[in-house]
Chains A and B, each alone.
Chain A
Amino acid sequence: MTPETSSPCSCGSGDACQDETQKARRGFLGVAAAGLAGIMLAPGVRLIEVAQAAPNPAATPAGASAGASPKVRWGMLVDTSKCTPGCNACVTACQTENGLPTQPGPTDAQWIRKIEIKEIKTGKAHSLPVMCQHCAEPPCVDVCPTGASFKRADGIVLVDKHICIGCRYCVMACPYKARSFVHEPQTQQKPDVPRGMGTVEGCTLCVHKVDKGESPACVQACAAAGYGAIAFGDLNDPNSEISKRVAQYSTRQLREDLRLDPGVRYMGL
């Protein structure tokens, strides 16, 4: 590269060599700093308003939460002794209900999957479905920068597709691998289950059915297949079938050590 000649300007010397352009440009730095400081302070002012760290209430669509009661805690109980290896009824039902790919590849979403596990020491094997565990303390909600990942009053953890920016931080945060990122354009979507390329999604506990008083598709399919391995109901209602069974039998939450209090419990593990 050829040598550069320079047009002199001094800093700190007070020499008469400064030109007006340089002055104006330096002045611009001040304006830029003030502008950026404004951007910096605006969220800070907002922070003061939000006395308690919590997702932005505005991020929760009013329509979606209007029907959710804080008195209810929806949950599931999976009886692994009734769940059969090779049976995929819950998975298929979820795919049909929610318009998900039936032969998923590495980039496809899986809202529920069957996992085959075998205890290394004893060789004891189980087959069980794993989906969003609808935690009471969901890490996906904690980490979501915009509040798109949110928990309804009745404990259902959802993604607001309108404000998800597709950062995938929730996918990183979920210890259950329950979140999927939509990698490509979607067609043939279900009217009740909007999906969008570039956003994150996961099991909604079939919230569109639950809000109509029905059970999630996986629960219905498991019962229809004759296994009845998944119970669904209100964990806060002591008279519900699920609560009675949770009170009667020994049940487990996955990764209990993390103390996330998932709404999905397992028995027989």
Chain B
Amino acid sequence: MKIALRQLEGRSPGYWALLAVLAAVSGVGLLAAWTMEHHGHVITGMNNQIVWGIPHVFAVFLVVAASGALNVASMASVFGKTVYKPLAPLSALLAIALLAGGLAVLMLDLGRPDRLIVAMTYYNFKSIFAWNVVLYSGFMGLVVAYLWTMMEHRMNAYSTYAGLAAFVWRLLLTTGTGSIFGFLIGRQAFGSALMGPMFIVYSLSYGLAIFLLVLLAVSRWTQRPLESAMQARLTRLLAVFVACAAYFVLVYHLTNLYFAKQHGLERFLLQGGGLYTRLFWLGQLGLGSLLPLVLLLAPKTRNSRAMLVLAALAVIAGGLAQMYVTIIGSQAWPLQIFPGYEVSSSFYDGVVGSYTPSLPEWLLGIGGVGMTGLIVVLALKWLAFLPQRLDQFPSDAVAGNAH
């Protein structure tokens, strides 16, 4: 079956309104970054106890979701599920847009964003951060190449190889992102080899949730009804990914609970950590895992498009809560320089760090989401990323069942 791809004409008032909103959100984000650079991070809620705040929550979430957004394309090219082939270009486009949005936030939150050129020219190759610079640009290059092989007829023969390379690279990329935390020896919540694979699993569910939202929005707004069989496949797949992510969270905390030296940290995160504890139980687990699992699997809701949208939104909200607990909660727990001692100082030693995100930080983080959306909406008009019809997909019979 031949796949016809089309671009959006993008002339409707709705299209322009969406574009204007996304441009405004991005613009406000840039303005917030400029204000932060002008006044310094003193206008944020960050301090010398919590040095990575809400912008990092958004940035890392977007970067992790970027690699997961490539799921659908990988299934078509790497795992031979041809049924997903028409959706592969959209999947790759989202991967690029999410990574660009996340990196923009990460970069603009630097103390010296004007020194980007330094970050690109001075490398300490023992730093996982430096490796990430290579991994980010490599991912971007490979996915663009992959898109080219999918969309340029002459190059179609190479799309399997490009897809495989992009797939392997996205595993490396997210291992690298997780290892930013995994390679920190001083902080109790980090310093674990589990961080790499755990972030890969997070990426699968966050990326697919975002992909689903975009797909369903396009389907509705361009009046291209989505085939119910495809919706059912993606619903089941999201359920599997959400369950896997929950499993990793369980293993992470059980491992910590096994080691007596980690009991204080676990008591903080799971029991007495105030906002962090609430975000863990209600946000990460309740909203991010249990609610979507029920919505995606229960016979009454699993076929409903509205419930699928709700489930995807819940996965995203849960993902942001997870990043907040992982990144900020882990910094709030004080460093144990003197295990077995009560500690006090003028530098807040032994005290749970306090952090309240300020408006510019929120705006910068949300600005990254706006930039992602802006790239997607512009690209859909610029080039034919979307299948002409969403109610007919090629048979997967030869390659096997859906998943």
Contacts and interface: CB of A to CB of B under 8 A. Distances in A.
Interface of A: 1-14, 22, 25-27, 29-30, 32-37, 39-40, 43-44, 46-47, 50, 53-56, 58-59, 104, 106-110, 113-121, 130, 139, 141-148, 163-169, 171-177, 180-185, 197-200, 254-255, 258
Contacts of B6: 6-9
A36 B141 contact: yes
A4 B148 contact: no
Interface string B117-136: 01100111111111011100
Contacts of B148: 26, 29-30, 33
A117 B147 CA distance: 59
Contacts, number: 300
18 contacts: A2-B14, A9-B6, A25-B382, A29-B147, A33-B144, A37-B142, A43-B134, A54-B125, A59-B122, A130-B337, A130-B349, A139-B186, A145-B122, A145-B132, A167-B110, A175-B186, A180-B48, A198-B112
Contact of B40 (A109, A147, A182): A182
A145 B144 contact: no
A145 B119 contact: yes
A145 B129 contact: yes
B160 interface: no
Nearest to B5: A11
Contacts of A181: 41, 46, 48, 51, 111
B111 to A, nearest CB: 2
Contact of A258 (B14, B112, B186, B383): B186
B126 A4 contact: no
A165 B115 contact: yes
B223 interface: yes
A169 B184 CA distance: 9
B141 A200 contact: no
A177 B141 CA distance: 38
Contacts of B349: 113, 115, 130, 177
Contacts of A56: 122-124
A110 B5 contact: no
B52 interface: yes
A115 B18 CA distance: 55
B150 A117 contact: no
A255 B153 CA distance: 60
B41 A43 contact: no
B127 A144 contact: yes
B42 interface: yes
